[in-house]
Amino acid sequence: MTDNNGKSGIPASLATVLTHSGRASDEHFGFVNMPVFRGSTILFKSLDELEDYKAPYRYGRNDNPTTRALCDLISELEGAAGTIIAPSGLSAVSTALLAAVSAGDELLMTDSAYEPTRTFATEGLTRFGVTTRYYDPRIGAGIAELFTDKTKAIFVESPGSLTFEMQDLPAIAAAAHARGITVIVDNSWGTPLFHRPLEFGSDMVMHAATKMFVGHSDAMVGTVSANEKLWGRLKRTHRILGVAVSPDDSYLTLRGLRTLAVRMKHHDEAALAFASWLEGQPEVEEVYHPALPSHPDHALFKRDFSGAGSLFAFRLKKRSRDALAAMVNGFQLFGMGYSWGGYESLCIPFDPSNIRTAVAWDAPGQMFRVHVGLESLDDLKADMAAALTRYRAIA
């Protein structure tokens, strides 16, 4: 296990992996980038070839050189035995979960999970006889008390979507492994540049690649990587489900990844600077950013992460809908929309209170989620300062 020990930044070796892996230029006339291989049918020259099930490419749904280059690159980044690519982050979630559980099993899921992840469990898995119980994201080693003979998987997301609680992954993984329970982590926020869950004992790690990997708000992609123990199961589940991604989207993800290190360095610094600035604004009740010393789980963040993502939340006093509309409708730079991870900043109001089932969310006020993009920080501060003024001006 890597103990970051307060170390910050992006491991130099991963910055090199991002620029050099998954290119195979020698095989493609020296062109720097892996080409897009569009296609379904792959022709065999002989009966011997047709019957050779070890051939690397046999049918477009299962095997594609562009997609395989992306798999290999992500496996290197996460330190995984193998990686599958899915046509969205949610499809990566469902593929990982279907690889981990069977009828009669029980899944433990963090109460802070991305909402559609919860919906797949409660609406989807329930139909196939898998039950889900939600746990307090701050449970740590106490998760062992929730285990029953039926518990087969734990779904961790750290920090949590919207509310940004950190989880004690080493403690959860140790408790799980003592009982042979599979641990899956949604690592979309930290990316493997700042946090590698397999090194902390998780069995599978997934990404909404739509967000930071693609990085330009122009494609939907998901990835799941597994350790040696789970790789066979994950690969087979992906195969039988027929979860195929467009090679064009694999290409866009590879292209996005080439600049991930410089983007993450910027997001890490800019989002933290913006969060500390917000913390100093009189209107702001609380800022939820794990890299801020004021965050209740800051020690876990420092221990297990070497940098922070682009996304955090803050809370204002509750005012009228008119005040909220005046605030968000007048943004010049912050866009209001779902997703995140692009070059452009976003700010969206939300209410976590009716999503939670394990621990109630009762902080009074209006929550906002912010994605700090690549704009000038001073321009973003000016846009937000004007928004706070508009909010304050209306009861």
Ligand X SMILES: *Cc1c(COP(=O)(O)O)cnc(C)c1O
Told to judge if 211 belongs to the known catalytic residues of this protein, a careful annotator would answer yes
If binding is defined by CB under 6 A, does position 176 make contact with ligand X? no
Minimal distance in Å, beta carbon 308 to ligand X? 14
If binding is defined by CB under 6 A, does position 167 make contact with ligand X? no
How many other CB atoms sit within 10 Å of the CB of residue 378? Answer: 8
Q: Supply 321's token pair.
A: 């809908």
SS3 95: helix
Contacts 24+ apart (CB under 8 A), 30-33: 33/251, 33/254, 33/255
Told to judge if 114 belongs to the known catalytic residues of this protein, a careful annotator would answer yes
Q: Of the ranges 22-30, 207-215, 234-242, 379-387, which one interacts with ligand X (CB under 6 A)?
A: 207-215
By CB under 6 A, what part of segment 248-307 binds ligand X?
none
Minimal distance in Å, beta carbon 197 to ligand X? 13
Binding characters for ligand X, 80-119, by CB under 6 A (x = yes): --------xxx--x--------------------x-----
**Candidates 105, 111, 168, 186; catalytic one:** 186
Minimal distance in Å, beta carbon 128 to ligand X? 20
Q: Which residue has the tokens 């296990």?
A: 1
Told to judge if 288 belongs to the known catalytic residues of this protein, a careful annotator would answer no
Closest CA to 203 of 245, 231, 162: 231
Q: Of the candidates 220, 224, 326, 367, which one interacts with ligand X according to CB under 6 A?
A: 220
If binding is defined by CB under 6 A, does position 160 make contact with ligand X? no
CA 393 vs CA 64, 184, 318, 321, 335: distances in Å: 56, 45, 13, 13, 21
Minimal distance in Å, beta carbon 86 to ligand X? 9
SS3 43: coil
Question: Of the two residues 188 and 250, which places its CB atom closer to ligand X in the complex?
Answer: 188
Give dist(CA 160, CA 137) in Å, integer. Answer: 8
Q: Supply 374's token pair.
A: 């690549």
Binding characters for ligand X, 341-370, by CB under 6 A (x = yes): ------------------------------
CA 329 vs CA 224, 258, 265, 369: distances in Å: 37, 35, 30, 15
Site residues (vs ligand X, CB under 6 A): 88-90, 93, 114, 157, 161, 186, 188, 208, 210-211, 220, 222, 339
Q: Which residues are catalytic?
A: 61, 114, 186, 211
